[in-house]
Amino acid sequence: MEKKPDLAVATSSAVRALTLEYKKLQEEPVEGFRVKLLNDNNMFEWEVSIFGPPDTIYQGGYFKAKMSFPIDYPYSPPSLRFTSKFLHPNVFVDGRLCISILHPPINDPSSGESSSERWTPARNVRTVLLSVISLMSEPNISSPANVDASIMYRRWKKGDDDQYAKIVKSQVQASKVQAEKEGVVVPLTIEEYCNEVKDKIKKKDEVDDCMDFYDFNNYDDDDDEDEVTISAEEVCSEEGNEDGEDVE
């Protein structure tokens, strides 16, 4: 068994890895996201600003989240917790995101997850954020973190009830107020998302990839519980929804 590095070595390695990732995300930002340090002296806590993807119910939204990293990153996964109100089947009512790639790389046959779905040192912040975009356009309702949200989402997709849409639209509207206070212009179309990135990185191939990624019209609207999106086949407990908090 390989011996783990001591605390000082692990921390130094994590700071180096995070510094490189942070610099790259500033130079080549992920479409629909912006990141910044919560404290310039602490590389282990980031603020993530998430723009609701176009052609989804979250379009026009400006959602904040806190991303925390362990001292042995990238060997252990980060965590992500929404600080903005954010109703979603794969987000606990306290804001914690539940997704397979943020689960530790341990062998747990009872989870139903393969090791390839969990965190590995080959993953990074970019892969996590792109997975969040995938979940916003197509939640994994077969193993929800927020059971109430999952039930509402299913009913909304079937046309039986619009409570889910009403709550999300209310949260989007509230987030727009916050964006305006901060002077943030939220991209509303696929073109705006991709052109903003084009202006910064000046790479046509990157922009073409962005356009393909955000072609949400290609998503299958069928309510297939067995269908999953990129890295979204997580197994979540219902603990995050036991306190009876109001999802609104």
Q: Which residues are catalytic?
A: 98
CA neighbor of 229 nearest in space, from 85, 81, 100, 88: 100
Q: Residue 156 contacts by C-beta under 8 Å, 6 or more apart in sequence?
A: 162, 163, 164, 165
The C-alpha atoms of residue 144 and residue 82 are separated, in whole angstroms, by 16
Tokens matching residue 200:
């910064």
Structure tokens at 189: 């179309």
42 contact partners, CB below 8 Å, separation of at least 6: none
CA dist., res. 140 & res. 229, Å (int): 7
Residue for token pair 């073109």 = 191
Which of 66, 59, 58, 100 has the alpha carbon at shortest distance from 82? 66
Residue with tokens 């109703």: 87
